Structure 1
Amino acid sequence: MDTYYSNGKLLISGEYLVLDGAVSLALPTKFGQSLQVTQTSNVNISWKSYNVEKQCWFTATFDLKKFKIMNCSSVETDAEKVATTLQAILSTAQELNPNFLQNSKGVAVSTSLTFPNKWGLGTSSTLINSIATWAKVNPFELLEKSFGGSGYDIACARYNTPIAYQRNGIDPIITQVDFNPNFKDQLFFVYLNQKQDSKEGIKMYKSLEVDKSSYIEQLNKLTESLIKAKELIEFEKIITKHENVLSQILKIKPVKERLFSNYKGAIKSLGAWGGDFVLVTGKEAYVKEYFSHKNYNTIIAYKNMILD
């Protein structure tokens, strides 16, 4: 049995404009997804996916040669849609490496998440990265030709430290950075109780008619300042300015202004605006009291979310 593991991700800066080459700060998480492959003699691919509660939420069987979907089922979502996406990833992996699975009689594959699917920490990127490792192909090329996106999530899946990420086709510029703020005990991630569709967010962003080059320059400078920030008050000013810049581009009010206007710390959206996690600053007792009172009960401390 072969086992592959990929880290989850959070994009701290440069969201949306990372697609157009902005330098972004990205952090791999302690949560992720494993993929296990066992050789069989069944002349097919038997696939099972397990959620964080160790419940099997998706099963499928694929023909080993052309990855034709033989059967599929799911207790949580549209099984056919998931199976079709998986079929496309496997087919693309074989296009990139024609030897992938060619000498196998059959395989049983199981995936296991260590975080709830709805959290948006990278159910797709962790899967694509692990399949790429299994198939011995470039994960960024596999992403580009199957699912699409900036690739920062693939980088987080492979790196165990904070990174500065810049898109560059299938050969992105990835730099490990020393981001370990001495005020991280006052950084928390709060789940907004809804999953954001990153594909829809990207589609919306690409439809905007704005000069992105000047904004990219602004965000690059903010990302650099963010990585170097030594004091919490400096960090808060930077993320607030970052929110305001993105607000100008997207024509959407920052999340603090929309939902938490009386909050005494700073709040920053992460990734696609409108869902998943936000980064908040403040003392632990105040953070938990404020957001719990508003029925946002998934509150995770920086030390419990981000890889050391």
Structure 2
Amino acid sequence: MKKEFYSNGKLLITGEYLVLDGAKALALPTKFGQKLIVEQGTDQEIKWRSFDADGSIWLQETLSFEDVLKEKSPVQPESVKNTLIEILRQGYLLNPNFINKSQGFQIRTELSFPRNWGLGTSSTLINNIAQWLEVDAFVLLNNSFGGSGYDIACAQNDCPILYHLENGQPVVEKVKFAPDFAENLYFVYLDKKQSSKASIVSYYNNKNEALNEDIIANNKITAAVLSAKTLAEFALALEKHEAEMSIILEMQTIKESIFPDFNGIIKSLGAWGGDFVLAISKENPTEYFRQKGFHTIVPYAEMIL
């Protein structure tokens, strides 16, 4: 019997990095996501195929149940296959029946966005696996991949959310965010995949001693972004957010480093230095970014649910 599961992709508008320490983050589920299709298999094996948005196979593996059950080696090299095995192993620990009562599986995943876009290839996979195994996706994420969990919340919700951790537990609040100035918002892909894991490690290594003040400042900015009635108010809040995070991370803003002559505001989204940025502009900035060598410019209405 075939089973299908689907999860939304994500973009983090405010609260990057600080969300790990309890700051409130505004996150938006995307129209793009990932599907998981599960069918019965044989031989106590999991035949796995993952397809990119263009229909090409980017992962094809046959995993034995034994691969999933055995303890992870401390020196096991980092790879997509080993990460997948670890997610499945943690899923097994939460629900052993998925292997104990099965003969095997044929599994297919399908992305509706290019894998290198960084919209949540891992988080949509984890949420889909959690749905399949009927386990808590936040627990599965924490036990396998790590992170704040805002991406799991986006995978599960079809509207904007305000997300934070309270005593280590996820708190998800559905919010209204449908700006009248959406036509002035564009998502630009920097064509440079950024590792979330590596960025998190770097953040913790450079964590500011004034963390509580940083979180309070972030929460005020997030509230200002949500309440902004005009493009000018929205742009001002996100410009302030970039300046605050630049100090915390001890990094130049993306506008300073790559787009200093841009007539508008540019906001990093998620891990700084890669994936998408949000461009705020009174005029359509597509030609500007193309001249700079960036050819994936997605209007807000085409990206966000």
TM-score bracket relative to the smaller structure = over 0.9
Contact 2:8–2:33 (Cα < 8 Å) also in 1: yes
Distance 1:237 1:33 in 2: 34
- Give the superposition deviation at 1:281: 1.0
Letter paired with 1:48? R
Q: Which residue of 2 aligns with 1:76?
A: none
Query: Cα deviation per residue 1:58-103 (whole Å; 9 max; x = unaligned)?
Result: 111111255269xxxxxxxxx9811111111011011011222321
Q: Which residue of 2 aligns with 1:247?
A: 246
Query: Cα deviation per residue 1:156-189 (whole Å; 9 max; x = unaligned)?
Result: 0000000000023663110000000000011000
Counterpart among 107, 110, 113 of residue 108 in structure 2:
110
Number of residue-to-residue matches in the alignment: 297
- Give the superposition deviation at 1:104: 1.2
Distance 1:163 1:115 in 2: 21
Percent identity between matched residues is 48
Distance 1:84 1:195 in 2: 20
Contact 1:42–1:107 (Cα < 8 Å) also in 2: no
Within the alignment, does 1:281 sit opposite 2:276 as a pair? Answer: no
Distance 1:8 1:209 in 2: 28
Query: Cα deviation per residue 1:192-234 (whole Å; 9 max; x = unaligned)?
Result: 1111111111011000141211000000011011011110000
Contact 2:17–2:270 (Cα < 8 Å) also in 1: yes
Stretches of structure 1 that go unaligned for 5 or more consecutive residues are 70-78
Within the alignment, does 1:268 sit opposite 2:267 as a pair? Answer: yes
Distance 2:96 2:104 in 1: 16
Q: Which residue of 2 aligns with 1:99?
A: 97
Cα RMSD, aligned residues only: 1.5
Distance 2:66 2:274 in 1: 39
- Give the superposition deviation at 1:243: 0.3
Distance 1:170 1:142 in 2: 14
Contact 1:65–1:102 (Cα < 8 Å) also in 2: no
Q: Which moved more, 1:35-44 or 1:272-281?
A: 35-44
Contact 1:7–1:158 (Cα < 8 Å) also in 2: yes
Counterpart among 127, 135, 144 of residue 142 in structure 2:
144
- Give the superposition deviation at 1:107: 0.8
Within the alignment, does 1:172 sit opposite 2:170 as a pair? Answer: yes
- Give the superposition deviation at 1:41: 2.9
Q: Which residue of 2 aligns with 1:18?
A: 19
1:209/1:282 CA distance change after superposition, 3 Å: closer
Distance 2:83 2:211 in 1: 31
Query: Cα deviation per residue 1:99-139 (whole Å; 9 max; x = unaligned)?
Result: 22321111100101111111100010000000011111110
Q: Which residue of 1 aligns with 2:121?
A: 123
1:60-99 → structure 2 map (5 Å cutoff): 60-67=61-68, 81-99=79-97
> Normalising by the residue count of structure 2, what TM-score does the alignment of the two structures yield?
0.94
Contact 2:207–2:248 (Cα < 8 Å) also in 1: no
Query: Cα deviation per residue 1:242-284 (whole Å; 9 max; x = unaligned)?
Result: 0000011011111111111111111100001001100011145
3-state secondary structure, aligned to 1:67: helix
Letter paired with 2:178? N
